[in-house]
């Protein structure tokens, strides 16, 4: 992933946000009308599906804000309705679409406050590839895993749907 440009990063975030939306629609269909699945979690000490949606969106959201020179602004982790979940995804996709900076932005040094007076400084490339992307995929996979555990009929093809345009037939 190292060496990618801003447009490639935007595309990755957009495609995977579409995957997250697809997973949410699959869950909505499976649970036919109820919203209680937003509270499902893998283990008692893990965050629920709705929070995984917010946390997945936080990574591309904060990337877009960083590109604009703005501070991180995480979404409310309490996602208790489908409308709110879909809104988080749609707003994040729109924010990512609006990114308009040169690749030179990836040459900057970025400071990330990690709480309790501690912080890390990373090259912006490392900020994207060592901080944002791992967190993004962690929460996306956790959302997927919660749904699989709950019996939603999804599989790897649903998670990897961004590859559909590249499928060839003999």
CA angle 144, 27, 19 (to 5 degrees): 50
Task: Supply the pLDDT for residue 3.
Answer: 54
Q: Mind listing the pLDDT tens digit for each residue in 98-138?
A: 999 988 888 888 888 888 889 989 988 899 999 999 999 99
Q: pTM score, two decimals?
A: 0.92
Length of the chain: 170
17-45: average pLDDT: 95
Which domains does the chain show, CATH number per domain? 6-165 (1.20.120.450)
pLDDT above 60: residue 1: no
**What distance in Å separates the CA atoms of residue 143 and residue 118, rounded to the nearest whole number?**
29
SS (H, E, C) the chain: CCCCCHHHHHHHHHHHHHHHHHHHHHHHHHCCCCCHHHHCCCCCCCCCHHHHHHHHHHHHHHHHHHHCCCCCCCCCCCCCCHHHHHHHHHHHHHHHHCCCCCHHHHHCEEEEEEECCEEEEEEHHHHHHHHHHHHHHHHHHHHHHHHHHCCCCCCHHHHCHHHHHHCCCC
In this predicted structure, what is the pLDDT of residue 141?
97
pLDDT in tens, 54-66: 999 999 999 999 9
């Amino acid at each position: 992933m190292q060496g990618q440009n801003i447009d490639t990063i935007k595309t990755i975030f957009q495609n995977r946000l579409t995957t997250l939306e697809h997973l949410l629609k699959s869950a909505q269909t499976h649970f036919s009308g109820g919203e209680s699945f937003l509270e499902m979690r893998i283990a008692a000490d893990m965050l629920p599906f709705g929070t995984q949606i917010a946390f997945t969106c936080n990574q591309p959201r904060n990337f877009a804000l960083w590109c604009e020179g703005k501070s991180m602004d995480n979404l409310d982790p309490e996602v208790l309705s489908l409308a709110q979940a879909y809104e988080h995804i749609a707003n994040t996709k729109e924010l990512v679409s609006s990114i308009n900076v040169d690749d030179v932005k990836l040459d900057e040094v970025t400071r990330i406050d990690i709480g309790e007076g501690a912080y890390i400084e990373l090259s912006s490339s490392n900020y994207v590839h060592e901080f944002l992307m791992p967190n993004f995929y962690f929460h996306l996979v956790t959302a997927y895993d919660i749904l699989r555990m709950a019996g939603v009929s999804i599989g790897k093809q649903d998670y990897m749907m961004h590859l559909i345009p590249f499928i060839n037939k003999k």
